[in-house]
Amino acid sequence: MIRCKTVSLIAAAILTGACQTAAPKTEAVLAAADDRTIAQVKSVLAEAVGRASIELGAGEPAKDTFITVLPPPLASREDRSMATPVVFDIVLSGGDCYAVRRDTGEAFRLSVACRAAG
């Protein structure tokens, strides 16, 4: 009898957890693209790609819904590289701004203001 109740409680807990929904994600752009904002974004994205410093690709984060992190520069003896840029989509979720890495889906909270795109 106790085992039956335990199984029922576990099943109820699993079903209840499955009904929870995540906050909806909305495409976004940075609210500002001043030097301070870009420095904060670069700091988060550098940590996301595991490098001390990064360079952003072409684009306007206050107009584009994505940010590109360029691969590291070639070493002095290298003449080509197989490295590709890392692209992050900017999204709003639950009132917070995130950079979502396209290749892994991992989200990184940006401590800057964003607004819905469009």
pTM of the full predicted structure? 0.77
Are the C-beta atoms of residues 49 and 67 closer than 8 Å to each other? no
> What would the pLDDT profile of 10-63 be if each residue is shown by its tens digit?
444 444 444 444 667 899 999 999 999 999 999 999 999 999 999 999 999 899
The Cα 109–Cα 2 span in angstroms is 44
Are the C-beta atoms of residues 55 and 79 closer than 8 Å to each other? no
Identify the band that residue 80 occupies on the pLDDT scale cut at 50, 70 and 90: confident
The Cα 5–Cα 34 span in angstroms is 59
CA of 113: how far to CAs of 15, 55, 109, in Å?
36, 21, 11
